[in-house]
Amino acid sequence: MEAPSEAPRPEPGPPTTTRTLLALDVAELEQVFVGLGAKPFHARIARENVLAKGLVEWEAMTSLPASLRSDLARELPILAGRETARSAAVDRTTKILIEFPREKQRDASVEVVHMPSLSLDADPDERDGATLCVSTQAGCPIGCPFCASGQLGLARNLHAHEILEQYVRGRTLGRLSRSVVMGMGEPLLNFTNLQSALDAVHDEMGLGSRRVTVSTVGFPDRLRAIAPNRPRFQLAISLHTPDQEQRDELVPAMRGIGIEDVLKAGDDWFEKTGREITYEYVLLHGVNDSAGHARRLADRLRGRRATVNLIPYNPVAESPYRRPEGASVEAFRRVLADERVVATVRWSRGVESDAACGQLRLRHARTR
């Protein structure tokens, strides 16, 4: 048998050659501005207009001279992608599909979901803000059978500026108070690019590190490599079952990597970063939602510095899985609570508008 490999795909090779405001670094951007007869500080103002203020049209940047603005409108696009679809739900959740330039003939469409906080939110900073869900890859190589993103496989990793662009586009829909890296793709398989985008989100968009959550299937070696750098985000690991055989089915790319190894890497993460982990558990009716599953999950997690986030399955077209009833979700949570494991429930928002990650893209791919 082949030795288990932690890395189904390599990270991308050379950096992008795309010439947009977001793709250029500060020095390159200053060069472009100087080339147009402007001053280097104008470049910094422009970047701030985009990242801190959410302006995505040169004409709107009234803090720049008018003639410079019209030169820039001709010379330098701000964003690389194109919005190709948008859907909105009654709870004001908006989902947009962004198409990034094709590379090697591969389509690179990703989804961004903007979820305004509900007015009942206790935290004042949340109340008028929104949570943005972003993607790290076009498609996904993990292959979870209940997830829409994996069904078309991996197209490609996103560049750092493409990940950042999702934040910029999200910002145009309203102020961001939180972000979850829970869209398409596996963040740890494109981590260098994600990290560089998140640095800009932290430093230039001002989103605090406790307000960003990265969700992963939890490759232990990668977590151990990252933890010492004390990354500025909260970690969530998708576990989905306490049983090894079942995890091999539900998270196919993790075959050969034991649940205990993942949990141990989670413990190490807490030691190194001082931040508690969340274990995500998608509840699938009749598959992993029995009382026995809850008890065995509690056995695995009891005494660990971690909480559980239960996610009732969000139906995907043509999928055999079903969402459990509210009462059985609550029963599962109760068993965990009785076993001294803290769990919260996350009902998906915007369900009527294809809001389960990967659904909008899957529908588009199928109708083309």
226 binds ligand SAH (CB under 6 A): no
Rounded to whole angstroms, the Cα distance separating 154 from 30 reads 35
User: Is there a catalytic annotation at residue 186?
Assistant: no
227 binds ligand SAH (CB under 6 A): no
Site string for ligand SAH, 302-321 (x = CB under 6 A): ---------x-xx-x-----
Backbone angles phi, psi at 106, to 5 degrees: -95, 130
- Closest approach of Cβ 217 to ligand SAH, in Å? 5
- Closest approach of Cβ 361 to ligand SAH, in Å? 13
User: Is there a catalytic annotation at residue 144?
Assistant: no
Contacts of 29 (CB under 8 A, 6+ apart): 21, 43, 46, 47
Number of residues counted as binding ligand SAH (CB under 6 A): 18
Given 99, 111, 162, 280, the catalytic residue: 111
- Closest approach of Cβ 134 to ligand SAH, in Å? 10
Rounded to whole angstroms, the Cα distance separating 176 from 167 reads 9
144 binds ligand SAH (CB under 6 A): yes
55 binds ligand SAH (CB under 6 A): no
Contact 300, 294 (CB under 8 A): no
Strand order in the sheet with 130-133: 82-88, 94-103, 106-116, 130-133, 176-181, 212-216, 234-238, 277-283, 306-312, 343-345
Closer Cβ to ligand SAH, 38 or 311, answer by number: 311
Among 177, 238, 273, 353, binds ligand SAH (CB under 6 A): 238
146 binds ligand SAH (CB under 6 A): yes
280 binds ligand SAH (CB under 6 A): yes
**Which residues in 125-142 are b (16+ Cβ under 10 Å) and which e?**
ebeebbbbbbbbbbbbbb
Q: How many CA atoms lie within 13 A of 224 on its CB side?
A: 11
Interface residue list for ligand SAH (CB under 6 A): 142, 144, 146-147, 182, 186, 215-217, 238, 280, 282, 311, 313-314, 316, 356-357
Task: Point out the residues that are catalytic.
Answer: 111, 357
